[in-house]
Amino acid sequence: MGDTGTLAARVRAASHLTGQFRLRSGRTSGEYFDKYLFEADPVLLADVVDAMRPLLPAATDVLAGLELGGIPLVTLLSQRTGLPARFVRKKAKEYGTCRTAEGGDVAGLRVVLVEDVVTSGGAVVEAARVLREQGALVEDVLCVIDRQEGGRDGLAALGLTLRPVLTRAELDAVA
């Protein structure tokens, strides 16, 4: 098994659950990849982030992690690459700065979104919209798992390229 196969087997072993799960998209699934289980393991998290590094476009100025699962990923990826991080909330904070995107300005910067799992891409679409409204150039999305349920095509329709570490097919291949 190559490096991708080994990582896929480790991520699947750590995070694959069966049962009835409602996804963010509203759909129901008989299986679920609980990203918090692989993100809570410091060795596995580091290996996942190391696999993300080569997927980063060379011209990246800033990394932006989506709340909540993208935050540990973007924090460690920022530390490993030296690129600054931003943190994108699901909705604007209702006190203090009242911002959706935290950590600094993004206007005029090439921002790469960092997410844990992409299914339909709804959370990524909303984050890209918010950052673009703030003047960011957002064209690329890194994720750990692409569930291959339409997210890639939906993102592409908005000019976003999905760059997954692992796909559902790769995770299924190691089952």
Annotated binding site for orotate: 119, 147
Yes or no: say if 41 and 7 are a contact pair by the CB < 8 Å rule.
no
Q: How far apart are CA 133 and CA 8, in angstroms?
A: 36
Token look-up 């979104």 returns: 113
Output the known binding site for 5-phospho-alpha-D-ribose 1-diphosphate: 24, 89-90, 93, 115-123
Q: Residue 99: what residue type?
A: R
β-pairing verdict for 101-102 and 85-88: antiparallel
Buried b (16+ CB within 10 A) or exposed e, 108-135: ebbbbbbbbbbbbbebbbebbebbeebe
Output the known binding site: 24, 89-90, 93, 115-123, 147
Which H or E run includes 154? helix 151-156
